[in-house]
Structure 1
Amino acid sequence: MAKEYSSQQLSFSVSNTMLLFHLSLTCSSQNDENGISVDDVSDFDDGFVFDIDPCLLVNCDKLDIGEMIGEGSYSIVYKGWYESRPVAIKMILPQRTKDATPECKAKFQREVKLLSGIDHRNVVKFIGATVKPSMMIITELLEGGSLQKNLKSIYPTAFSLEQCLNYALDISQAMEYLHANGIIHRDLKPGNLLLTEDKINVKVADFGTAREDICDEMTCEAGTYRYMAPELFSKDPLPKGAKKSYDRKADVYSFAIVMWSLIKNQTPFKERKDFMAAYAMANNMRPSVDGFPKDILPLLQSCWDDDPKLRPEFTEIVETLKRILQNLYSTKNISEHGDIKEVDSKIHEEESAKTLSTTSLESSKKNENIPKLENETIKPNDGTHGKSQSQSHNGILPALVQRKPKKKNKINRLFSCFRCCFAS
């Protein structure tokens, strides 16, 4: 967990670190001139030889260390510059490589190899590393700060549900990628999740405890107690040399606690100390879900299931979050644009009424000329238009029908008169 420092403490710490760093470089240069390198000294001390690809190592002369931005039990993180580019510099403790144990060097080497092989938009980008005079890992600098810091800054309020779900999706996509490449993180928590400068996206960071997914080599109690899966925590002491057997599903449990903390903006089991919080979870206790969004609750509860085999894979989690977000967007759009749709509907109805009125008027005018068109056929229509026509024709058709027979009778009488004249 990162600690807060006053400006005076920060200045003192940074100046001490810079002094030590430059002194180490000076000593390194003097040793090189005498034919003695830091690597030689380190190898002489404990026999450990770094096995890191030289193309991953950067030139210390191009590296400038600035203010401290974070601290842990394993390392200190500084803001810095590499070739005039802002970077984050993770300096492994102890600060001088020759003072580190072989176990510490092996852990650093493993982190460099794992992080350098990762390429995903939701994982912090590796830039390079140094092994002398200090073991350092250089990554991209994320100006948005940690998720933990951002949550603390807005407490007691929380991020919107939409933003929380987007962050959760970013995290789950990163974890899906890591698991697909045989890597488990083992320390997923808000302090190891960094936001971009615009606060839109989140990236997974700190691979100090990450390991390849090999069950028989997993040791117990790796990570942070409050976010640790129950299978990693031992309620009873293990025999000497015994190891816990667990797999990537431990990350799924940690993700569930992170998602709960993110949405609620609360610390899980805040009233308990770290160790007792882990003990409670090992006894199948979970943080309260009162007021938790119902649509997300099934996902949360499946992810923190006591049985690792019943927890979903991150592939399933990604798809579930996408579906929930899609439903949320749909509901939001309906809510925001509902009034607009009502107005559009009314406008459409008014326009239809005007069109119908105009059409009826035109039809009525045409119907006035029907007597002049004796051969026109009129078809019945059940609609309003048809009714208008029917009403216009009611007073016209009977007259036509009655006049036609009278004309025929007059003609017949005229022909009869002609016949009589010719006959006489």
Structure 2
Amino acid sequence: MEEEYYSWVRRPMFSTTVCRRVDPSKIPAIHPVRQTSLRGQREEASECLSCGSRACGVDSETRPVAKSLQRSSHSRPLERATSPLPATALSEAFKEARSERRRFSTPLPRKQASPAKSEEGEWREEWRGDLSQLYLGHKFASGAHSKVYHGIYKNLTVAVKVISQPDEGENPGLAARLEKQFNREVTHLSHFHHRNVIKMVAACRAPSVFCIITEYLGGGSLRTALHKLKEEPLALDRLVAIALGIARGMEYVHSQGVVHRDLKPENVLFDDDGVPKIADFGIACEETRCEALTEDPGTYRWMAPEMIKHKIYGHKVDVYSFGLLLWEMLSGRVPFDDMTPIQAAFAVVDKNLRPAIPVGCPPPLRGLIESCWSVMPERRPEFWQIVGVLEQFQSAVYRDGSLGVVQTAACQEHKNRLLHWMQKFKISASEDGGRPPPPKFL
């Protein structure tokens, strides 16, 4: 029996394999023995297919093989060899200019990352507390969802604010809100550095508990100091000194673009030397984002009308609260103490009601209080203006023991004089470039 020969040719454009029966005597005619180029092979194959004769040495049975070669050469185009790009040596000046993007245009301003949190959303190492070195003592204050303990952290006397979250699945909305408050407070406190603002030491977070470690202020709160007076007013020199410290702290807070939103005597603490410090930034917000944080209201008795109405508001809501705080130090009483908080809110919004200023109030101080709690936010002074007025009050009290004004003068006259002082401060600020003077770092 005659031996059969087979030639296996794979067509690259298809997955099937073609099997052709070939005469072995005619294989050398198409076998690439000669060192010819691929282009020459393609031309020979095309001539053989065109002539159709046996003179070229190609049988009709081998024509499909030539066709497949021709088809494969057209289906896979030739590729040129890629040469490496020439290496160019850059000078150091060019590298520096390109890295800092200073060649052709000024770089766009970049949003600064929060000092307390990194880009991955984790607390930076310098603020992450070590719970193994924290020792809790007795509880000395509490709120709706938090408790404040005396503690020791790394041999320092500290105050530890513990925020307890509800059980898992019990109240997910409250849990999310408390976590947001914790994040905001740590973010704000981590970059506050002022004599009249509480100092943060560290922050810790566990699955069900958050805690904020701050300096311990042994002088108690302004609420405690007023309670000890049993509805008696503070001495004028002490009142002005405390008010000046609070105003300086709030001036600094506003210069950082932050609105406290809950300024009241409970959130003003004293150190051992009697220096007042602003505390509790749990519902504080950046002024550009306050409108989106309607779920965290302040306290109604000290809340500005526009905030009660859920209208657009800004940092002047803290000035309104400061006016009520001045009145409380002057009278020794809680604002609207004969009403519930809801009733007080309705009285402020619907009737434009304010607490009655005591008869013996010095007229300049009366004018300052009325300016701070004005119903129109644009008529309330800025805290840097309040600092300037209170510094003049303090100089007069140290010099004369009083505010140096005639007590029988008309209140409106002193109020106009106060507004003239504030206008003078505003003019001096505009001469310096239209911006208020920078806060004093004491």
What TM-score results when the alignment is normalised by the length of structure 1? 0.62
Check conservation: 2:141, 2:148, Cα contact below 8 A: yes
More deviation, 221-230/169-178: 221-230
Check conservation: 1:52, 1:113, Cα contact below 8 A: no
* Partner in structure 1 of residue 179 of structure 2: 105
More deviation, 288-297/170-179: 288-297
Q: In structure 2, do the counterparts of structure 1 residues 139 and 221 end up closer, same or farther at CA, with 3 Å as the change threshold?
A: closer
Question: Within 5 A, what are the aligned runs for 1:42-53?
Answer: 51-53=122-124
Distance 2:279 2:249 in 1: 10
Q: In structure 2, do the counterparts of structure 1 residues 220 and 293 end up closer, same or farther at CA, with 3 Å as the change threshold?
A: farther
Question: Within 5 A, what are the aligned runs for 1:187-198?
Answer: 187-198=262-273
* Partner in structure 1 of residue 239 of structure 2: 164
* Cα displacement string for residues 9-54 of structure 1 (whole angstroms, at most 9, x for unaligned residues): xxxxxxxxxxxxxxxxxxxxxxxxxxxxxxxxxxxxxxxx953223
User: 1:321 aligned to 2:390?
Assistant: yes
* Partner in structure 1 of residue 315 of structure 2: 248
Distance 2:235 2:245 in 1: 16
* Partner in structure 1 of residue 192 of structure 2: 118
Out of 136, 147, 160, the residue aligned to residue 211 of structure 2 is 136
Distance 2:238 2:340 in 1: 29
Which residue type is aligned with residue 262 of structure 2? Answer: D
Q: Secondary structure at the match of 1:263?
A: helix
Q: In structure 2, do the counterparts of structure 1 residues 82 and 95 end up closer, same or farther at CA, with 3 Å as the change threshold?
A: farther
Which residue type is aligned with residue 280 of structure 1? Answer: A
Which residue type is aligned with residue 235 of structure 2? Answer: S
Q: Secondary structure at the match of 1:289?
A: coil
Distance 1:62 1:158 in 2: 43
User: 1:258 aligned to 2:325?
Assistant: yes
Q: In structure 2, do the counterparts of structure 1 residues 206 and 334 end up closer, same or farther at CA, with 3 Å as the change threshold?
A: closer
* Partner in structure 2 of residue 224 of structure 1: 299
Cα RMSD between the aligned structures? 2.2
Out of 93, 116, 129, the residue aligned to residue 58 of structure 1 is 129
Question: Within 5 A, what are the aligned runs for 1:1-20?
Answer: none
Which residue type is aligned with residue 233 of structure 1? Answer: I
* Partner in structure 2 of residue 181 of structure 1: 256
Distance 1:334 1:114 in 2: 36
Check conservation: 1:52, 1:109, Cα contact below 8 A: no
Q: Secondary structure at the match of 1:56?
A: coil
What TM-score results when the alignment is normalised by the length of structure 2? 0.60
Out of 371, 381, 390, the residue aligned to residue 312 of structure 1 is 381
Distance 2:337 2:227 in 1: 14
Out of 273, 276, 294, the residue aligned to residue 202 of structure 1 is 276
Distance 1:92 1:323 in 2: 41
* Partner in structure 2 of residue 93 of structure 1: 164
Distance 2:402 2:344 in 1: 41
Check conservation: 2:396, 2:402, Cα contact below 8 A: no
Distance 2:335 2:286 in 1: 28
Name stretches of at least 5 consecutive residues in structure 2 with no aligned partner. 1-119, 405-442
Q: Secondary structure at the match of 2:212?
A: strand
Instruction: State the shift of 1:333 in Å.
Output: 9.7
Q: In structure 2, do the counterparts of structure 1 residues 53 and 268 end up closer, same or farther at CA, with 3 Å as the change threshold?
A: same
Instruction: State the shift of 1:106 in Å.
Output: 2.2
Instruction: State the shift of 1:97 in Å.
Output: 9.2
Q: Secondary structure at the match of 1:117?
A: coil
* Partner in structure 2 of residue 67 of structure 1: 138
The alignment of Structure 1 onto Structure 2 pairs a total of residues equal to: 278
Check conservation: 1:303, 1:311, Cα contact below 8 A: yes
Name stretches of at least 5 consecutive residues in structure 1 with no aligned partner. 1-48, 235-242, 336-424
Q: Which has the higher helix share?
A: 1
Check conservation: 1:221, 1:233, Cα contact below 8 A: no
Distance 1:294 1:220 in 2: 39
* Cα displacement string for residues 84-131 of structure 1 (whole angstroms, at most 9, x for unaligned residues): 211100011227899872332222111101111100000011000001
The alignment-based identity, stated in percent, is 36
Distance 1:114 1:98 in 2: 29
More deviation, 140-149/324-333: 324-333
